[in-house]
A and B are shown apart, each in its own frame.
Chain A
Amino acid sequence: MTDPIQAAETVLRLDGITKRFGDLTANCDVSLDLARGEILALLGENGAGKTTLMNILFGHYVADEGQVYIASPGTGLSELEAGSPHAALEAGIGMVHQHFTLAENLSALDNIVLGTENLSALTSARKPARQKLEDLIARSGLSVPLDARISQLSVGEKQRVEILKALYRDARVLVLDEPTAVLTPQESDTLFATLKKLADDGLAIIFISHKLAEVIASSHRVAVLRGGRKVADLPTADCDLRKLAELMVGHEIVETVRSKGSPGAPLLALNAVSAGEGRDALHEVDLTLNSGEILGIAGVSGNGQTMLARVISGLQVPASGTMTLAGNDETGANARKMIDEGLARIPEDRHHDGIVGAMSVSENLAIESIRKPQNQRFGLLRFSAMRETARRLIETYDIRCQGEDSPARLLSGGNIQKIVLARTLDPEPQVVLAAQPSRGLDVGATSDVHKRLLAARDRGAGVILISEDLDELMRLSDRIAVIHRGRLSAADPTEALDRGTLGLRMAGQSGEAA
Chain B
Amino acid sequence: MIRFEPRPPASVSRMLGVSLAAALAALVLAAIPMLFAGLSVFEAYGLMVKGAFGSLFAFTEMLTRATPLILTGLAAAVAFRAKLWNIGAEGQLYVGALAAVAVGTGAIAAPAFVLIPLVVIAGALAGGLLMLGPTLLKTRLGVDEVVTTLLLNFIVLLFVQMMLEGPMQDPMGMGWPQSEPIVDEAALPKLLDRMRIHWGLVLALAASLGVYFLLKRTVWGFEIRAVGENAAAARHAGIPVTATFMRVGLLSGALAGIAGVGEVAGLKGYLTADLSPGFGYSGIVVAMLAGLSPIGVVFAALFIASIFVGADSMSRATGVSNYLADLIVAMALLCVLVSGLFLRFKVKFITAPSAREAGQ
Contacts and interface: CB of A to CB of B under 8 A. Distances in A.
Interface of A: 22, 60-64, 82-84, 313, 315, 334-336, 338-340, 345, 347, 352-359, 363, 367-368, 370-371, 375-376, 379-381, 406-407, 410
B223 interface: yes
Given A62-B353, A83-B353, A358 B229 contact: yes
Interface stretch (B52-60, B61-69, B233-241, B301-309): B233-241
Contacts of B234: 356, 367
B230 A357 contact: yes
A358 B83 CA distance: 14
Interface stretch (B165-173, B194-202, B214-222, B273-281): B214-222
Nearest to A410: B8
A353 B236 contact: yes
Contacts of A339: 237-238
A354 B233 contact: yes
A355 B8 contact: no
A131 to B, nearest CB: 36
Contacts of B229: 356-359
Interface in B329-359: 353-357
Contact of A380 (B219, B225, B230, B240): B219
Contact of B218 (A345, A354, A380): A380
Given A336-B240, A367-B237, A410-B8, A355 B230 contact: yes
Interface in B153-185: none
Contact of A22 (B5, B9, B225): B5
A367 B226 contact: yes
B354 A315 contact: no
Given A22-B5, A353-B232, A407-B9, A371 B356 contact: no
Contacts of A406: 8
A60 B220 contact: no
B248 to A, nearest CB: 16
A354 B230 CA distance: 9
B219 A379 contact: yes
A62 B235 contact: no
Contact of B226 (A313, A347, A354, A359): A359
A83 B236 contact: no
6 contacts: A22-B5, A358-B229, A359-B229, A363-B226, A381-B218, A406-B8
Interface in B8-26: 8-9
A412 B355 CA distance: 25
A64 B233 contact: no
Given A339-B238, A359-B229, 18 more contacts: A83-B356, A315-B235, A315-B236, A335-B235, A335-B238, A338-B238, A340-B238, A352-B233, A353-B233, A356-B230, A358-B225, A358-B229, A359-B226, A363-B226, A367-B222, A379-B220, A380-B217, A381-B222
B9 A358 contact: yes
A242 to B, nearest CB: 38
A61 B238 contact: no
Given A64-B354, A381-B219, A354 B236 contact: yes
Contact of B222 (A61, A358, A363): A363
Contacts of A353: 232-233, 236
Contacts of A22: 5
Contacts of B235: 315, 335
Interface of A (DSSP majority class) = loop
Contacts of B355: 62
A190 to B, nearest CB: 35
B270 to A, nearest CB: 39
Contacts of A336: 238-240
Contacts of A359: 225-226, 229
Contacts of B219: 370-371, 375-376, 379-381
Nearest to A423: B237
Interface of B: 5, 8-9, 217-223, 225-226, 229-230, 232-240, 353-357
A335 B220 contact: no
Contacts of A375: 219
B356 to A, nearest CB: 3
A368 B226 contact: no
Contacts of A83: 353-354, 356-357
A315 B239 CA distance: 11
Contacts of A82: 353-354, 356
B354 A62 contact: yes
A15 to B, nearest CB: 16
Contacts of B226: 356, 359, 363, 367
B8 A381 contact: no
A486 B13 CA distance: 53
Contacts of A407: 8-9
Nearest to A64: B354
Most chain B CB within 10 A, of A335, A355, A368, is at A335
A164 B237 CA distance: 41
B218 A379 contact: yes
A410 to B, nearest CB: 6
Contacts of A381: 217-219, 221-222
A411 B354 CA distance: 27
Given A352-B232, A358-B9, A381-B218, A367 B354 contact: no
B9 A356 contact: no
A359 B225 CA distance: 8
Given A22-B5, A336-B238, A367-B237, A61 B230 contact: no
Contact of A60 (B217, B221, B236, B357): B357
A370 B236 contact: no
A83 B350 CA distance: 15
Contacts of B221: 381
Nearest to A376: B219
Given A22-B5, A370-B223, A379-B219, A355 B353 contact: no
B5 A61 contact: no
Nearest to A349: B232
A347 B5 contact: no
Contacts of B230: 352, 355-358
Contacts of A347: 233, 236
A406 B221 CA distance: 19
A367 B221 CA distance: 12
Contacts of B357: 60-62, 83
A313 B238 CA distance: 9
Contacts of A63: 354
A86 to B, nearest CB: 12
Contacts of A61: 357
Contacts of A370: 219, 222-223, 239
Nearest to A352: B232
B229 to A, nearest CB: 4
A363 B222 CA distance: 9
Contacts of A352: 230, 232-233
A356 B218 CA distance: 17
Contacts of A335: 235-238
Contacts of A84: 356
Contacts of A60: 357
A347 B223 CA distance: 19
A363 B226 CA distance: 9
Nearest to B354: A62
Nearest to A338: B238
A62 to B, nearest CB: 5
Nearest to B213: A380
A84 B353 CA distance: 11
B244 to A, nearest CB: 12
Contacts of B5: 22
Contact of A62 (B220, B225, B356): B356
Which of B219, B223, B233 has the most chain A CB atoms inside 10 A of its CB?
A: B233
Contacts of B225: 356, 358-359
A183 to B, nearest CB: 27
A52 to B, nearest CB: 12
A261 to B, nearest CB: 27
